[in-house]
Homo-oligomer: A and B are copies of this chain.
Amino acid sequence: MKSLHTNDGAVIAPAADGGLLDRRLFLKKGLVFGTFALASDHIPADELQRTAAMLTPGAPFSGYGQPSPFEQGLLRNVAANAAVAGNGASMTPLERLAGTLTPSGLHFERHHNGVPKIDPALHRLIIHGKVAKPLSFSLERLKRYPMTSHLCVIECGGNSFSGWHKEAMQGTPGSLHGLVSCSEWTGVPLSLLLHEAEPAADADWIIAEGADAAALNISIPRAKAMDDALLALYQNGEAIRPENGYPMRLVLPGWEGVTQVKWLRRLETSDRPVMSRNETAKYTELQPDGSARQFTFSMGVKSVITAPAGGYRLTEQGYYSLSGLAWSGQGRVASVDVSADGGKTWAEAELCAPVLPKAYTRFRIPWQWQGQPATLQSRATDEHGNMQPTRARLVQERGQAGYFHYNAIISWQVEPDGYIHHIFA
């Protein structure tokens, strides 16, 4: 590894090849504290004058705030199926976000037949099937139950599906990998409601159904329903947004999105799964030997560099704070390694607190770009030792006929002209 120099001539030992620097470089005294040197040291006189906006009173108060008009491009990336009304997805623009939360208005959507308009006063949640006491809950009564919160990721089982293609699709982090979002979900532990209905001893499955036009249904093992499953009424503090299940949805921390049924209206306990479309024809994984994996609920450990990344261009050489998101459906992120040379050498990234289980963990590492071509990669490991695989290993194990549960290392190629594109490496 070559040594690097700061603007004032100090030598910096690199953390890995390709320009990666020690993750603590700019935050700890004793290291090279505060030499980013990206500011202008000439302050034009007009910058000290009052700006035009300071000369007249600004806009009045508002009941419910909206993003700045200068952020009109901050939108989900919609990919709708032209042949079926309300079928498709919209993706979170990961590259425009920072921190770990996804604003509710930008949480990804996956609907099978559109977003139903549900009057909360009329909506009921029914628990029936193999239970001693079939029950019907109004929203008003549910709000009197004890609630808890999970700050957690929901990832669509089909996120990053283009990773299974033969050639790397081009796009931004959000358009390629944005079927994942992280919110604080608050509601009633599902175990409380199920317990009250007294399920039969052999009622090992709970079949959840949504109140949308697709009547989306799916089978959930009782063990998960009695563990950390939530009947969520609130998203990031307020009532859930319509496209995310208003007035109520399931949240099953760490599991694929399709199981976390939105607009939930019915839980039917059963001694067997229902074998619905979305657990047979879809959301299953064809393997190289012709068999299919089914009921692959938990999402793997995964990470993606969100900036700098695909679809963008570096217009200047110098320091960048390389940043991204990591998560695991199994628990906490333990570490994230970053490579700038396509995986030949790795440096450990800084994890930003708090590191919560099954939630986004933001990572970052300083990187010095001096016009060199670079292949940026991130590799997450969770607290159980699960490590994000290379694409070669994932394809070797699972073939290329798949669509779901793609979690291989994601690679961004930086060209000498600063353009960045998506590659398989």
Chain A residues at the B interface, C-beta cutoff of 8 Å: 26-27, 33-44, 47-48, 50-51, 53-71, 74-76, 78, 80, 85-86, 88-90, 96-107, 109, 111, 113-120, 122, 124, 126-128, 133-138, 141-149, 151, 184-187, 189, 191-193, 195-196, 211-213, 215, 233-234, 236-239, 241-244, 246-247, 265-266, 307, 318-321, 323, 350, 352-354, 356, 362, 364, 366
Contacts and interface: CB of A to CB of B under 8 A. Distances in A.
A20 to B, nearest CB: 13
29 contacts: A26-B192, A40-B137, A41-B134, A41-B136, A43-B135, A44-B136, A53-B212, A56-B213, A58-B111, A58-B213, A59-B243, A61-B89, A63-B90, A65-B109, A65-B244, A68-B120, A68-B241, A68-B242, A71-B238, A74-B239, A97-B238, A98-B233, A98-B234, A98-B237, A99-B234, A101-B101, A103-B104, A103-B236, A149-B352
Contacts of A34: 191-192, 195-196
A36 B90 contact: no
Contacts of A60: 80, 85-86, 114-115
B43 A134 contact: yes
A353 B242 CA distance: 26
A54 B266 CA distance: 13
What 9 A-B pairs have minimum CB-CB distances, sorted nearest first?
A58-B114, A34-B195, A63-B75, A99-B186, A57-B85, A39-B135, A53-B116, A65-B105, A38-B141
Contact of A58 (B61, B116, B137): B116
A96 B189 CA distance: 20
Contacts of A111: 58, 61
A16 B103 CA distance: 40
A145 B69 contact: no
A64 B364 contact: no
Nearest to A58: B114
B211 A100 contact: no
A57 B107 CA distance: 21
Instruction: Count the copies.
Output: 2
Q: Which of A107, A233, A234 has the most CB of B within 10 A?
A: A234
A211 B54 CA distance: 6
Given A62-B76, A90-B61, A184 B39 contact: no
B242 A59 contact: yes
A117 B58 contact: yes
A142 B352 CA distance: 18
B99 A236 contact: yes
B118 A53 contact: yes
Contact of A238 (B96, B113, B148): B96
Contacts of A186: 98-99
A27 to B, nearest CB: 6
Contacts of A69: 117
B192 A238 contact: no
Q: Which of A80, A135, A319 has the most CB of B within 10 A?
A: A135
A246 to B, nearest CB: 5
Given A237-B106, A243-B61, A43 B101 contact: no
Given A38-B145, A62-B78, A68-B246, 5 more contacts: A57-B85, A61-B78, A61-B86, A63-B90, A70-B247
A195 to B, nearest CB: 3
Contact of A320 (B36, B116, B144): B144
A97 B364 contact: no
Nearest to A109: B61
A396 to B, nearest CB: 36
A233 to B, nearest CB: 7
A58 B113 contact: yes
Nearest to A138: B40
Contacts of A80: 60-61
Contacts of A146: 26-27, 321, 350, 364, 366
B41 A135 contact: yes
